[in-house]
Amino acid sequence: MPFTTTKSAFWAGFRAALPFMVVALPFAFLFGVLATEAGLTVFESLAFSVVVIAGTAQFTALQLMEENAPTLIILASALAVNLRLAMYSASITPHLGAVPFWKRAFAAYFLVDQAYALSIVKYEDEPDMPRDQKLAYFFGTVAPVCPFWYLFTVVGAMVGKSLPSSIDISFILPLAFIAMIGPLLRTPAHVAAAFTSVVVALLMAGLPYNFGLLVAGAAGMMVGARVELWQESQHG
């Protein structure tokens, strides 16, 4: 249904994003707890979320930090995990690319998974939506997720600081990865990419500085892309 104002578009996006809080907030809390377990202060944990604002990349970097990997490897791994954002940007540019630069800058910063997924579906369903309403809808999808991601990172970090040092909860980190990745394995390409990454990571476990994770990630993406192309050719 077309929106009458940018305000109504914003609140429609806000309501659409509310269910994502059920998943995002516990993970933000968990990140805060694990960040302090890894030695970060409450402020550093918050700064991590504000600067990176990408859950999977944050958990990836955190695990490598706990394993004392070199800074270059940590940055490269986080960048590899976030390469999907470049595809998001290319996909959403036809809809938001003509807005003023400062608005595009804010949109680029808040281009998280939830905002992209909700917005691109809405734009495709309503191709005649005015550009200002598209932008309002996008920021509406961000409003209930990103600010609370920061807040619950702080809450988790404060809780983590109060935990006795004898309590080790680092085992939660791999469980968090499983919980995040599991629901995403919806197509054969996804499954092939995940399986390839696991196999290559195990084979490359002996490489120094966890470099095998980068090799595994690259191999997974290539295999997933090839499977997706094969599927398209079969349906074509």
**DSSP string of the chain, one letter each residue:** ---SSHHHHHHHHHHHHGGGHHHHHHHHHHHHHHHHHTT--HHHHHHHHHHH--HHHHHHHHHHHHTT--HHHHHHHHHHHTTHHHHHHHHHHHHHTTS-HHHHHHHHHT--HHHHHHHHHHHHH-TT--HHHHHHHHHHHHTTTHHHHHHHHHHHHHHHHHS-TT---TTHHHHHHHHHHGGG--SHHHHHHHHHHHHHHHHTTTSGGGHHHHHHHHHHHHHHHHHHHHHHHHH-
Query: Do 61 and 114 lie in a common domain?
Result: yes
Residue 43: inside a domain: yes
- Condensed to tens digits (0 to 9), the pLDDT of residues 71-114 reads 888 888 788 778 778 878 888 999 998 889 999 999 999 998 88
Are 104 and 147 in a shared domain?
yes
In a domain, 136, yes or no: yes
In a domain, 174, yes or no: no
> Are 55 and 156 in the same domain?
yes
Domain that holds residue 199: 185-236
Q: What does pTM read for this prediction?
A: 0.73
What percent of the chain is predicted at pLDDT more than 70?
89
Residue where a domain stops, chosen among 169, 197, 224: 169
How many distinct structural domains can be found in the chain?
A: 2
Residues 59, 158 within the same domain: yes
Give the tens place of pLDDT for each residue, 116-173.
Answer: 888 988 998 888 899 999 999 999 999 998 999 999 999 999 988 777 666 666 566 5
Q: Is 179 domain-assigned?
A: no
Same domain flag for 224 and 139: no
